[in-house]
Amino acid sequence: MNGPAMRWVYVNIAATRIQSYLSRTPDLKGVRGASAWLGDTSCRDSSAAWVAAASGTGDGDVEINAEAGQADGVFPLRFPSCGDATADHRRAAATANAAQTAIRRQLPAVPLAAGWATGSSYVEAYPDGLAAEDALPVSPPVDEIPFLQSCATCRADPAVTDIDLHERQVRVCADCAARYTDRYRQPGLRQATVPVSAETRLLHALDVDETHTARHFDALAALGAADGNRNHVASVYIDGNNLGRLFEAAATSGDTELKARLSEKVSAATRGALIDATRTVWPRPDDRGDQTAVPVIPHLVGGDDVLVSVVADRAWLFTTAYLHSFRGRMQKVTDLPAAATTSASAAIVFAHSKHPFRRSVDLAAELLTRAKREHCGRQPAIAWLDVTRDGDQPVPERRSWTLEHAATLDPAMRALSALPAAARAEWGRLCDPDRPQISAARLRRHGRRLERSDVVEPLLEHGGPAAVAAALSLARWWS
């Protein structure tokens, strides 16, 4: 007869507000550095330092929790329960503190939260997925200690050291020193000093080396089409739909290993879709001409979350390709709980390469939340904003488009994008969402006069003058 199942204390540590943390430095090198460190720190193959630190809090029996999925910025641990809830809680707090201290030796400013629960399996301990019972404190913001010189790059923390950056000496905080020292493209990757990260994995999947990268946002923007302005990039933020319901169904299925298997398959679908979408916008070598740099730079690939920078005129094609691929890959997962459907939604912010990256990321997060809410997570949806045309705030009357809507509107969008900029501007002057009936009549009359009803009618049927205005903001990026 089998004895009682062994019980474990599961300790989850996770980077919080990770998108904002990645974007706290204004240039691509700093973003890449943080992304590389997070990928290394949460990688199972390079976790010895923080696991060893956590093990020092007890009998040395702390280990990686293999039942949890792997994602950048998530650090799952476990150790055997002693049977005393108070003692388990005390040790879990000490374990989380020790691991966080070790992680912050690499990234001093990363915001971290920790939670713990007890059970005979991870699903039993965390039926609703990753939880945070207790959040451990983060260093105080710089405005609490104003007498210190602020970091010359992020302006978020006090400067503590000098580094050679952009061919000059600058005073930086401890976090930026870790980001920039041996952690950016040149010479870091070439010398193999950069740890495993999302970008490295993508490059390897594409069978290219680290020389096939844009070194800064201006260089990424310059990969645009020759007949474009070549000075815009897009920040694309993608998140899964209905993942909470999926894991909830897994937790109640009676199969204690199902959640772990599904977590691995979601992660595999995310990474596979990223590769598929990148290949869509970066064709075979024979078709690339003299363009050798990959037009996609991933900053975060964790679970079902993706944050990437893409050359602007290929961002829409990249995003739709990703959403199609992710949905198709998840449909092939054979052990999904009954009636579970999983897809992803996305937000795209088009902006000049000099536009603050952090602001673009914040806008993308806000737009993505709206897109998921508008369609209740039932369908893949895309929200977007062209900062140069629309301004630095989401457009109130603009609704996101589902993949199906985008496919239906593709002929009209291609016709609209082929029009000269002056012609599109004339259409824009006729759009007045505050007077939809009058505006629609003017748009239809203008379309008949130019014999271009094929452009305006599908858009008006889709969403009135607001849909026409939305289409005009997207037309120059349509592909």
pLDDT in tens, 335-348: 776 556 689 999 99
Other residues' Cβ atoms within 10 Å of the Cβ of residue 105: 14
Euclidean distance between CA atoms 76 and 65, whole angstroms: 5
Euclidean distance between CA atoms 343 and 324, whole angstroms: 9
Whether the per-residue pLDDT at 1 is higher than 60: the answer is no
Whether the per-residue pLDDT at 37 is higher than 90: the answer is no
- Is residue 110 domain-resident? yes
Average pLDDT over residues 219-236: 92
Average pLDDT, the chain: 82
Euclidean distance between CA atoms 321 and 206, whole angstroms: 16
What is residue 370's predicted lDDT score, i.e. its pLDDT?
94
Tokens of 254: 């009676």
Tokens of 3: 């004895």
Last residue of a domain, one of 402, 423, 446: 402
pLDDT band (50, 70, 90) for residue 130: very low
Q: In what order do the strands lie in the sheet with 232-241?
A: 296-302, 305-311, 232-241, 343-352, 381-386, 401-402
What is residue 399's predicted lDDT score, i.e. its pLDDT?
93
- Is residue 3 domain-resident? no
pLDDT band (50, 70, 90) for residue 189: very low
Percent of the chain with pLDDT over 90: 36
Euclidean distance between CA atoms 197 and 204, whole angstroms: 11
357 by Cβ neighbours in 10 Å (0-12 / 13-18 / 19+) ranks as buried
Q: Is the dihedral of CA 102, 105, 107, 112 positive or negative?
A: positive
Same structural domain, 261 and 281? yes
Euclidean distance between CA atoms 273 and 332, whole angstroms: 13
- Is residue 72 domain-resident? yes
Weakest mean pLDDT among 52-56, 114-118, 189-193, 420-424: 189-193
Last residue of a domain, one of 345, 375, 402: 402
Tokens of 160: 């503590």
**Cis omega before residue 127 (within 30°)?**
no
- Is residue 2 domain-resident? no
Same structural domain, 207 and 187? no
Strand partners, 344: 240
Tokens of 325: 């691929």
- Is residue 102 domain-resident? yes
What is residue 54's predicted lDDT score, i.e. its pLDDT?
66
What is residue 95's predicted lDDT score, i.e. its pLDDT?
86
What is residue 325's predicted lDDT score, i.e. its pLDDT?
97
Helix (H) or strand (E) segment spanning residue 268: helix 258-281
Average pLDDT over residues 169-175: 86
pLDDT band (50, 70, 90) for residue 212: confident
Same structural domain, 189 and 115? no
What is residue 140's predicted lDDT score, i.e. its pLDDT?
40
Number of domains in the chain: 4
Last residue of a domain, one of 402, 433, 456: 402
Q: In what order do the strands lie in the sheet with 74-80?
A: 63-64, 74-80, 8-15, 112-119
Euclidean distance between CA atoms 246 and 262, whole angstroms: 9
Question: The whole model's pTM is what?
Answer: 0.84
Same structural domain, 59 and 86? yes
- Is residue 475 domain-resident? yes
pLDDT in tens, 68-105: 766 667 788 888 998 898 998 888 888 888 888 888 87
What is residue 387's predicted lDDT score, i.e. its pLDDT?
96
* Domain membership of residue 111 as a residue range: 8-139
Q: What is the DSSP track for 327-361? A: HHHHHT-TTPPTT---EEEEEEEEEETTS-HHHHH
Whether the per-residue pLDDT at 141 is higher than 50: the answer is no
Euclidean distance between CA atoms 142 and 340, whole angstroms: 46
Average pLDDT over residues 159-166: 81
Same structural domain, 379 and 463? no
Nearest to 250 by CA among 158, 365, 340: 340
- Is residue 216 domain-resident? yes
- Is residue 171 domain-resident? yes
Same structural domain, 353 and 251? yes
Same structural domain, 456 and 437? yes
Name 283's Cβ contacts closer than 8 Å, sequence gap at least 6: none
What is residue 304's predicted lDDT score, i.e. its pLDDT?
87
pLDDT in tens, 259-290: 778 888 888 999 999 999 999 999 766 555 55
Euclidean distance between CA atoms 18 and 73, whole angstroms: 8
CB 313 within 8 Å of CB 228 = yes
Whether the per-residue pLDDT at 308 is higher than 80: the answer is yes
Q: What is the DSSP track for 208-250? A: --TTSS-SSHHHHHTTS-TTS---EEEEEEEEEESHHHHHHHH
Euclidean distance between CA atoms 74 and 12, whole angstroms: 7
Percent of the chain with pLDDT over 70: 82
Tokens of 465: 């003058």
Tokens of 391: 């301004």
Same structural domain, 279 and 351? yes
Average pLDDT over residues 141-155: 64
Same structural domain, 106 and 129? yes
pLDDT in tens, 317-367: 999 999 999 999 998 887 776 556 689 999 999 999 999 999 999 999 999
Euclidean distance between CA atoms 52 and 58, whole angstroms: 11
What is residue 315's predicted lDDT score, i.e. its pLDDT?
97
Same structural domain, 122 and 153? no
CATH number at residue 95: 3.30.70
Packed helices 28-41 and 198-205: angle between N→C axes, nearest 10 degrees: 90
pLDDT band (50, 70, 90) for residue 4: low
Same structural domain, 203 and 335? yes
pLDDT band (50, 70, 90) for residue 40: low
Same structural domain, 191 and 201? no
141 by Cβ neighbours in 10 Å (0-12 / 13-18 / 19+) ranks as exposed
Euclidean distance between CA atoms 402 and 462, whole angstroms: 12
For 23, 155, 387, 435, the CA distances from 430, given in Å and listed in that order, are: 38, 44, 21, 10
Average pLDDT over residues 214-225: 91
Tokens of 147: 């007498």
What is residue 105's predicted lDDT score, i.e. its pLDDT?
78
Instruction: Please tell me the number of Cα atoms within 13 Å of 38 on its side-chain side.
Output: 31
